[in-house]
A and B are shown apart, each in its own frame.
Chain A
Amino acid sequence: MGTRSDSLALNDLRRQLAEAALRSVPAAVGQVSFGAPGLDAALGGGLARAALHEVYAPATADLVAATGFAVGLAMRAAGMRPILWARQDVVDAETGRLHPPGLTELGLDPGRVLLVRARDAAGVLRAGSEAARCPALGAVLIEPWGEPRCLDLTASRRLSLAAEGSGATTLLLRAAVSPPPSAARTRWLVSALPSRALEANAPGDPAFSIRLLRHRSGVAEGEWRVEWSRDRQSFQEYAVRDHGVGAAGGQDDRRKVGPDAAPLSRTLVPFPADRPAAAGGEEPGIRRAG
């Protein structure tokens, strides 16, 4: 009996030590993997953790996709540490404000997010570089708007140095601008990708088309299609079959639809035949209640 509780205590202690060791490893060491084997292999294991990475959206309409991609990346980088999000007020007006239940739906506990709202890009940068110097943060998301003067090579070098010093993965998120020269380790162009349809042609998991524009260690440019799986907290390779952009709708849907039922993009069969009827049947009662 005594030995049993001793061994339990020992196990507990071992676990604590392992956790402590995990935390005491300078976060500057290591990489953030995407969790998608092909992509990780191409990048030599993943992205450098203690570095600045840039995520660009080709148009404002794609910013939310780029944001989703950046949230996934930040989550994988941060582990259990908090994430700081510095955002310019204009972004809220243009693409809507951050919706915490949406973060939960992507798998991120909103309680771990610290949001700093700044009036101008200089404020966003200031908050971002202050945060990037804090080793206790897991990741920093910096979201300025437009092409501000202050966001030059020097600024990105500063951010980059701060991230290298602290180990907090720093992500710069921008939309609809031509990327200026910067000291970032990698640069990505992220746009929305039609998701793999679920049953009844419902939109599936968030899917992104990501393009590596630049890698300081000389990894060649490339384009991948990934989707974010909340349940596994990782990116996954999207359909590998075809590289044409028009080919929406996956053949390899893992759970919902058989291979023959995979709907193409414009089949206009939104619901099983019985569904509108069922909805219609319920409606009068609900309508009266409303």
Chain B
Amino acid sequence: MLGLTRGLTLADARARIPALAAVEAEPEADEALLVRLAAFCDRFTPLVALDPPYGLMLDITGCAHLFGGEAALQAAIGGWMRKGGLDFRTTIAGTPEAAHALSRFGGGGIMPVGADEAMLRPLPVAALELRAETVVALSRAGLKTLADLADRPSATLSARFGAELVTRLGRVLGREDARITPLRPPPACVVERHFAEPMLDIESLEAVVARLVAEAARVLELRGEGGRSFEISFFRSDGAVRRLSVGTGRPSRDAAAILRLWRERVDTLADPLDPGFGFDAVRLAVPVCEPLNTHQPSLDGRAVEDEAVADLVDRLVARFGRDRVLRFVAQDTHHPVRAAKALSAALPASTLAWPAPEPDEPPARPLQLFEPPQPVEAIAEVPDGPPIRFRWRRITHDVARAEGPERIAPEWWRDGSSEPMRDYYRVEDAQGRRFWLFRIGFYEPEQAPPRWFLHGLFA
């Protein structure tokens, strides 16, 4: 209407409308807004996909009746968008592509079931969103609307304009249905509550969560499954969505245990759940389910103990986080630092055995290890011998007993060949404190003396 189109230069546009306000484009901010809107739309259906650069695709199959029909749902979404100050257009159609084409190139609205094609036929061929050359070729051939294409045999179209045209046409006209790829994978089990009035009271919210958990547990029990993680989303009336999730080491449908984990999780939140003007809806989703059969506890009670430990791990993980509840896993290497790894206890245990210590020998490896090793000043009596005195943390230790060297070569396949050799010594000072020291390099004439490090402490 104003003669402005996409792709126009700013100077051109200003020439047409001198009072034009220009704002820098921020594609990242647009995308962030779109993702936030997608999270918000989660309350209408679990299947929400982005339709970039400025569209959202909601699969409302089987959802509309929950909001009082398609028209009511459309009105509800429209109401929210208006409240958010957004310029928008909503279309409900049989297939995603049809809805997209009608939104962008038609008037929007709700397509009556089975009438998609009739509504789509008047749209321009641009609605197929093909490559520019194809669009030009189509218009040169005098094919201007979808109706012109719809009645032609697809073999001819495909031969002249490429197979893509036929595929797109089929999809847009609703002859072929393709599923959307939702932003968040649809959970295996969902239970939710919508409130008539925004809920402000945290305690009643907890009661709602408890009911949802119990409900989900019942659903899972009927299916003979257990959840490995439980995600609770709180939809705030201003559109913000807060999600909290708890995980379990094994599949579970024990409502009390899940609720306990959830409380642990809420307790540790740095910023507590803020109801703001209230929550409209709460959803409990179980993204991952695994078969869980009821079993008779074994006679010896070992399984019960294992389960109790797994429950404890779940609670600690919920409170401290996955990376703070650890289990040691042996690694297949001779390098002292890499010999063990601490992995999250929430992961399944490994089976690699720990190297057995030499019987009848004192401990050869320290109980505590410094990483990186701490530099010390040391004096050795003979080159390549153990130190007779060393200074660590401003305290001088006189070595009373020593054993070594134990030469540990670097792993050239990981460290490269420039990494020097280390000679390790077990030493004990006059007070009986035991240390693990090493020397890098050797004493050589006319060269700087080798450096000494403290790597660990023995009990």
A residues contacting B by CB (< 8 A) are: 16, 19-20, 23-24, 61-62, 64-65, 67-69, 71, 81-82, 84, 95-107, 109-111, 113-118, 123, 126-127, 130-131, 134-137, 191-195, 197-198, 200-207, 209, 228, 230-231, 248, 255, 265-266, 268, 270-271, 276, 279-280, 283, 286-287, 289-290
Decide if A192 touches B434 in the complex (CB within 8 Å). yes
Decide if A203 touches B385 in the complex (CB within 8 Å). no
Decide if B371 touches A202 in the complex (CB within 8 Å). no
Decide if A64 touches B368 in the complex (CB within 8 Å). yes
Decide if B405 touches A134 in the complex (CB within 8 Å). no
User: How distant is B447 from chain A, measured CB to nearest CB, in Å?
Assistant: 13
Q: What are some 16 contacts across the A-B interface (CB < 8 A)?
A: A20-B301, A67-B367, A101-B339, A104-B355, A106-B363, A111-B328, A111-B330, A195-B434, A203-B402, A203-B458, A204-B362, A230-B363, A231-B360, A276-B385, A279-B384, A286-B407
Q: Given the complex of chains A and B, what is the CA–CA distance between A117 and B344 in angstroms? A: 11
User: How distant is B13 from chain A, measured CB to nearest CB, in Å?
Assistant: 56
- Closest Cβ neighbor of A95 among chain B residues: B368
Contacts of A204 in B (CB 8 A): 362, 401
Decide if A64 touches B362 in the complex (CB within 8 Å). no
Task: Tell me whether A203 and B428 are in contact in the complex, defined as CB-CB below 8 angstroms, given that A99-B456, A104-B355 are known contacts.
Answer: yes
User: How distant is A218 from chain B, measured CB to nearest CB, in Å?
Assistant: 30
Q: Given the complex of chains A and B, what is the CA–CA distance between A20 and B385 in angstroms? A: 54
- Closest Cβ neighbor of B402 among chain A residues: A270
CB contact between B325 and one of A82, A114, A228 (< 8 Å): that residue: A114
Contacts of A82 in B (CB 8 A): 309
Q: Given the complex of chains A and B, what is the CA–CA distance between A279 and B430 in angstroms? A: 26
- Closest Cβ neighbor of A227 among chain B residues: B362
The reply to whether the CB of B382 lies closer than 8 angstroms to some CB of chain A is yes
- Closest Cβ neighbor of B405 among chain A residues: A279
Give the interface SS of chain B, mostly helix, strand, loop or mixed. Answer: mixed
Query: Which size bracket describes the interface of B in this complex?
Result: 35 or more
The reply to whether the CB of B277 lies closer than 8 angstroms to some CB of chain A is no
CB contact between A110 and one of B328, B370, B421 (< 8 Å): that residue: B328
Once A and B bind, how many residue pairs between them come within 8 Å at the CB atom?
A: 242
Q: Given the complex of chains A and B, what is the CA–CA distance between A219 and B121 in angstroms? A: 97
Sorted nearest first, the 7 A-B pairs with minimum C-beta distance are A68-B459, A96-B368, A105-B363, A202-B403, A100-B340, A136-B308, A99-B369
- Closest Cβ neighbor of A255 among chain B residues: B360
Task: Tell me whether A276 and B382 are in contact in the complex, defined as CB-CB below 8 angstroms, given that A110-B340, A130-B316 are known contacts.
Answer: yes
Q: Given the complex of chains A and B, what is the CA–CA distance between A289 and B305 in angstroms? A: 52
Contacts of B420 in A (CB 8 A): 290
Q: Given the complex of chains A and B, what is the CA–CA distance between A206 and B365 in angstroms? A: 12
CB contact between B326 and one of A61, A114, A131 (< 8 Å): that residue: A114
Decide if A202 touches B401 in the complex (CB within 8 Å). yes
Known: A97-B368, A114-B313. 14 other contacts (CB 8 A): A62-B433, A84-B312, A97-B370, A99-B367, A114-B345, A115-B342, A127-B316, A136-B312, A192-B431, A195-B401, A195-B434, A201-B402, A265-B401, A266-B400
Q: Given the complex of chains A and B, what is the CA–CA distance between A114 and B317 in angstroms? A: 12
Q: Given the complex of chains A and B, what is the CA–CA distance between A207 and B432 in angstroms? A: 8
User: How distant is B450 from chain A, measured CB to nearest CB, in Å?
Assistant: 12
Q: Given the complex of chains A and B, what is the CA–CA distance between A290 and B336 in angstroms? A: 18
B417-459: CB near A (< 8 Å → 1, else 0) gives 0001100001110111110000000100000000000001111
Contacts of A136 in B (CB 8 A): 304-309, 312
The reply to whether the CB of B94 lies closer than 8 angstroms to some CB of chain A is no
Contacts of B325 in A (CB 8 A): 114-116
Decide if B312 touches A106 in the complex (CB within 8 Å). no
Q: Given the complex of chains A and B, what is the CA–CA distance between A126 and B319 in angstroms? A: 10
Decide if B308 touches A134 in the complex (CB within 8 Å). yes
Q: Given the complex of chains A and B, what is the CA–CA distance between A101 and B459 in angstroms? A: 13
